[in-house]
């Protein structure tokens, strides 16, 4: 941990992961977290299948891996996966529970990792991390990504952004920057990432997935109970605090 920023983020996530399995990133409700994982898992798989040819699935990197669930998925598709996170506790837990031979976990920031290693990845996933990096430091993070990407590699960034006005949410333990969606779009347009191609830029299909689940539940024997769960989810998803915050995916090819 090199900076006080990293220390603050680390101590925040240390507490968060001890309270909730995924750190309570979207919600501290286990059911909602479960559905968030299913939605984001299907998005991640669709990006890999669509954009990474089978003969290029050698080395992948999961940045800010948290509980390692997305790392494990990537390990089924790539020869080898590295996963990094600032939180020592979650990295230790992931190492203890790791059942895959082809992935390893490192406690390091993106920026420090990029300086230390000389590896180029075919696929990099950055899920919910750039929102913790302020504008003065973000260029360093972009350069780190640029250094780590192989030629023709795919970079997927998933960020919580504001659909309307931007806010910088300040808490006692860390600061999250909920930016406008085009803030990261500007990264695509800048010269920071060499020879990039913008493949897609879109919101998560959470609503569509919920509709599909709802239709499925109509044929389930415990229909009523399941509908109640959906109503609970709906309340959580569309309550005022959440309705301006959306999940965006930015997909680039180098």
**71 interacts with ligand SAM by CB under 6 A:** no
Helix axes 223-237, 30-51, angle to 10 degrees: 80
CB of residue 112 vs ligand SAM: minimum separation in angstroms?
Answer: 8
Count of other CB atoms within 10 angstroms of residue 253: 16
Cα pseudo-dihedral 15, 18, 23, 28, rounded to 10: -110
Name the residue nearer to ligand SAM (CB basis): 138 or 227: 138
x-or-dash string of contact with ligand SAM, 99-138, rule CB under 6 A? ----------xx----------------xxx--x------
- Of the chain, the end-to-end C-alpha distance in Å amounts to 29
CB of residue 13 vs ligand SAM: minimum separation in angstroms?
Answer: 4
Backbone angles phi, psi at 151, to 5 degrees: -65, 140
What is the enclosing helix (H) or strand (E) of 6?
helix 4-19
Which range binds ligand SAM by CB under 6 A, 83-91, 98-106, 201-209, 240-248? 83-91
Name the residue nearer to ligand SAM (CB basis): 33 or 252: 33
Name the residue nearer to ligand SAM (CB basis): 37 or 228: 37
CB of residue 239 vs ligand SAM: minimum separation in angstroms?
Answer: 19
Strand partners, 162: 180, 245
Name the residue nearer to ligand SAM (CB basis): 23 or 188: 23
Our measurement of the distance from residue 32's CA atom to the centroid of its chain's CA atoms, rounded to an integer in Å, reads: 16
Cα pseudo-dihedral 83, 157, 4, 97, rounded to 10: -30
Which range binds ligand SAM by CB under 6 A, 20-28, 46-54, 189-197, 241-249? 20-28
What is the footprint of ligand SAM within residues 165-224 (CB under 6 A)? none
CA 79 → CA 119, 141, 158, 176, 192, distances in Å? 14, 25, 23, 34, 28
CB of residue 55 vs ligand SAM: minimum separation in angstroms?
Answer: 27
Name the residue nearer to ligand SAM (CB basis): 137 or 222: 137
Our measurement of the distance from residue 94's CA atom to the centroid of its chain's CA atoms, rounded to an integer in Å, reads: 16
Q: Which of 27, 87, 204, 247 binds ligand SAM (CB under 6 A)?
A: 87
CB of residue 58 vs ligand SAM: minimum separation in angstroms?
Answer: 22
- Smallest CA-to-CA distance from 183 within 196, 171, 167 is with 167
CB of residue 210 vs ligand SAM: minimum separation in angstroms?
Answer: 19
Look up residue 47 and give its two tokens.
């990006």
Name the residue nearer to ligand SAM (CB basis): 90 or 206: 90
Assign 179 to helix, strand or coil: coil
Residues of the shown chain interacting with ligand SAM in the complex, contacts defined by CB under 6 A: 9, 13, 22-23, 25, 63-66, 84-87, 90, 109-110, 127-129, 132
């Amino acid at each position: 941990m090199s900076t006080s920023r990293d220390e603050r983020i680390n101590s925040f996530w240390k507490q968060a992961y001890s309270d909730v399995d995924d750190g309570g990133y979207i919600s501290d409700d286990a059911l909602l977290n479960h559905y968030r994982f299913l939605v984001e898992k299907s998005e991640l798989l669709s990006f890999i299948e669509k954009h990474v040819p089978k003969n290029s699935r050698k080395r992948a990197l999961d940045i800010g891996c948290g509980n390692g669930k997305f790392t494990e998925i990537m390990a089924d598709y790539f020869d080898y996966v590295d996963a990094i996170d600032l939180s020592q506790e979650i990295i230790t837990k992931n190492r203890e529970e790791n059942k895959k031979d082809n992935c390893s976990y490192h406690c390091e920031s993106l920026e420090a990792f990029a300086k230390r290693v000389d590896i180029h990845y075919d696929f990099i996933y950055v899920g919910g991390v750039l929102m913790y990096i302020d504008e003065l430091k973000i260029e360093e993070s972009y350069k780190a990504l640029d250094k780590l990407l192989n030629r023709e590699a795919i970079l997927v960034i998933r960020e919580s952004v504001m659909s309307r006005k931007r806010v910088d949410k300040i808490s006692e333990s860390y600061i999250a920057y909920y930016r406008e969606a085009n803030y990261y779009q500007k990264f695509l347009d800048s010269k920071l990432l060499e020879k990039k191609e913008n493949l897609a830029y879109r919101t998560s299909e959470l609503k569509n997935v919920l509709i599909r689940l709802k239709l499925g539940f109509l044929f389930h024997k415990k229909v009523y109970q399941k509908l109640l769960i959906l109503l609970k989810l709906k309340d959580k998803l569309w309550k005022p605090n959440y309705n301006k915050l959306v999940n965006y995916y930015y997909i680039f090819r180098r």
